[in-house]
Amino acid sequence: MKISPFFVKKKFGKNHIFSIMPHQSVLLFDITLEIPYICASMSAKTVHIKSFGCQMNKLDTALVTSALRQGGFGLVDDEKEADVVLINTCSVRGHAEEKVLSHLGNLKHIKESRPELVVGVIGCMAQRLGAELLGHEAVDVVCGPAQIPQITSLVTEALQEKKKTLAVTRKIRQKADEEETQTLEDFESVFDSDDKQIPNQAFVRAMRGCNNFCTYCIVPYVRGPEVSRPPNAIIEQIKRLAGEGVKLVTLLGQTVNSYKYTAGEKTYCLADLLQMASEVEGIEWLRFVTNYPLEEFFDEIIQAMADLPKVCNFLHMPTQSGSDRILKAMNRNYTVRYYMELLDRARATVPGIAIAGDFIVGFPGETEEDFQATVELVKKVRYKNCFVFKYSPRPGTTAENRLEDDVSEKIKKKRNTELLGVQEKISDELSKEFLNKDVLVLVEGLSKKPHLNKAENKNNPQLVGRTATDWIVVFNGPESLAGEFATVKITKTAPLTLFGELL
């Protein structure tokens, strides 16, 4: 087990180191004394982490998992075996929050028979609800996205002292001070790579927060203002990850294409980051998500995609609606025409680029005509795939404050199904273009039913991977291919999945 200097420095000051002993007990030494003196000892506790939400949350979960593991905690898959249950939460739609609240209800019952169980809520919901969430009978720790560097000490204190703790940002729209930004930076760089959720793939944050204030969206209120990370810190991280075998890095940001960092005379944009990351030996593919339809830097980014072979020809650019009237009410600051022009430019510069989109159906005031405009847009663009969401009013957002949620659940559902159906037909047509072609995939691992798989087909189970353009490919092969590139001949297709044989 590695010693975590970050944890020790934060919790006990820099004069301590600690060591994990047999039976998972932790010994803490004060190194200023001549003979190392055991100044604390605790039995390693176990943690179970549940994660909801977007890639940002997945990255935060990976960081928290690494930090806890290095802090001496054991990670367990079974919640029943855990001394600590952490839930990393999402606030983007009401449904995601309801799932967490219902889970907290179950945990409350478990705590009746196991009062020593510590329950922590981290992430967007922790920031949004703060003290209210701490009032929940099951909850001991509430920790916002900017406070995750404190997670090990918060959990340790909760275990030892049995008191409730709240760690959230008080004024979320205020720019964080230098110390807090530096703490997040240190945390990110120390714990970046210990918990790769998919072999040889890693997320790297390019920026935090969002300044756009789309009227439906909670993100600016829970993740704070936009902050781009220093390019050298990002590149150092990518180099370290490459040294550990990472082949695909996905740069993350709520609006990653607005990445902007000024150092001395030079202002770096996402295209510069892609160029610098491309030069890192060992990195084979680079992706970036997610994008806002924005003119600034767009041509540079698309040109970087065309010029740099490592940058995958894939663009996720949420659209939200095909009606200018609704886009205006959403405060999206662009029109359908503007959006289409950006995509035309992308397609002219990067032939074969795969485009994905997000849509919200049933936004307040959305008429059938508005919705049909969205259907038309989807047909025109011919996305590789689309994510479609039913509008969910989020407390404190402009839409929730000022607009009535006047599209019924029934109509939202109907529009959701219709739009997905239109997209499915397009995805199906696009997938057929791959028939009998050879594609290069980065293998993620066993496909969804690994146990069934392995039992049925021990040395040649069903694997899943993705092409550079983000198509999911399912084929049989040795499990050892996980994290490696493979060439697959496509023999069968479905709307979102290609099936084939390993070459």
Judged by beta carbon, residue 51 or residue 237, the one nearer ligand 5AD is 51
Candidates 141, 198, 360, 377: give the one binding ligand 5AD (CB under 6 A). 360
- Least Å distance between CB 316 and ligand SF4? 11
By CB under 6 A, how many residues form the interface with ligand 5AD? 12
Distance CA 369, CA 371 (A): 5
> Does position 220 bind ligand SF4 by CB under 6 A?
yes
The amino acid at 162: K
**Partner touching 297 among ligand 5AD, ligand SF4, none, CB below 5 to 8 Å by kind:** none
> Does position 224 bind ligand SF4 by CB under 6 A?
no
Q: Where are the beta strands (DSSP E) in 206-252?
A: 207-208, 227-228, 248-252
Judged by beta carbon, residue 45 or residue 394, the one nearer ligand 5AD is 394
Inter-residue contact 36 to 19 (CB < 8 Å): no
> Does position 92 bind ligand 5AD by CB under 6 A?
yes
**Partner touching 220 among ligand SF4, ligand 5AD, none, CB below 5 to 8 Å by kind:** ligand SF4
Structure tokens at 239: 């180099």
- Least Å distance between CB 125 and ligand SF4? 16
DSSP state letters, 434-469: TTT-EEEEEEEEE-S-HHHHHHH-TTS-EEEEE-TT
**Partner touching 268 among ligand 5AD, ligand SF4, none, CB below 5 to 8 Å by kind:** none
Q: Which window, 171-179, 212-220, 370-378, 473-481, contacts ligand SF4 (CB under 6 A)?
A: 212-220
> Does position 213 bind ligand 5AD by CB under 6 A?
no
> Does position 205 bind ligand 5AD by CB under 6 A?
no
Judged by beta carbon, residue 217 or residue 486, the one nearer ligand SF4 is 217
Q: How far is residue 404 from each of residues 152, 229, 400, measured CA to CA in Å?
A: 42, 38, 7
Candidates 30, 358, 376, 484: give the one binding ligand 5AD (CB under 6 A). 358
Residues 473-492 that bind ligand SF4 (CB under 6 A): none
Residues 181-210 that bind ligand SF4 (CB under 6 A): 210
> Does position 291 bind ligand 5AD by CB under 6 A?
no
420 secondary structure, DSSP code = H
Candidates 255, 257, 374, 493: give the one binding ligand SF4 (CB under 6 A). 255
> Does position 361 bind ligand SF4 by CB under 6 A?
no
Q: How far is residue 330 from each of residues 206, 321, 325, 364, measured CA to CA in Å?
A: 25, 9, 9, 9
Backbone angles phi, psi at 214, to 5 degrees: -60, 140
Distance CA 311, CA 14 (A): 41
Q: Which residue has the tokens 């945390």?
A: 187
Q: Which residue has the tokens 């939460």?
A: 89
Work out the number of other CB atoms within 10 angstroms of the CB of residue 147. Answer: 22
Nearest alpha-carbon partner for 116 in 156, 84, 141? 84
- Least Å distance between CB 358 and ligand 5AD? 4
Judged by beta carbon, residue 214 or residue 336, the one nearer ligand SF4 is 214
- Least Å distance between CB 319 and ligand 5AD? 8
Structure tokens at 235: 């590149």
Q: Which window, 1-9, 15-23, 189-197, 217-225, contacts ligand SF4 (CB under 6 A)?
A: 217-225
Q: How far is residue 69 from each of residues 151, 195, 311, 323, 436, measured CA to CA in Å?
A: 11, 9, 33, 48, 45
Inter-residue contact 208 to 223 (CB < 8 Å): yes
- Least Å distance between CB 291 and ligand SF4? 9
Q: Is 490 helix (H, G, I), strand (E, B) or coil?
A: strand
Candidates 203, 268, 383, 391: give the one binding ligand 5AD (CB under 6 A). 391
DSSP state letters, 175-209: PPPHHHHHHHHHHHHHSSSS--SSTTEEEEESEE-
> Does position 419 bind ligand 5AD by CB under 6 A?
no
Distance CA 197, CA 193 (A): 10
> Does position 228 bind ligand 5AD by CB under 6 A?
no
> Does position 66 bind ligand SF4 by CB under 6 A?
no
Residues 287-326 that bind ligand SF4 (CB under 6 A): 292
147 secondary structure, DSSP code = G
> Does position 298 bind ligand 5AD by CB under 6 A?
no
The C-alpha angle with vertex 299 and arms to 293 and 302, in degrees rounded to 5, equals: 85
Q: Which window, 160-168, 390-398, 421-429, 467-475, contacts ligand 5AD (CB under 6 A)?
A: 390-398
**Contact residues for ligand SF4 (CB under 6 A)?**
210, 212-214, 217, 219-220, 254-255, 292
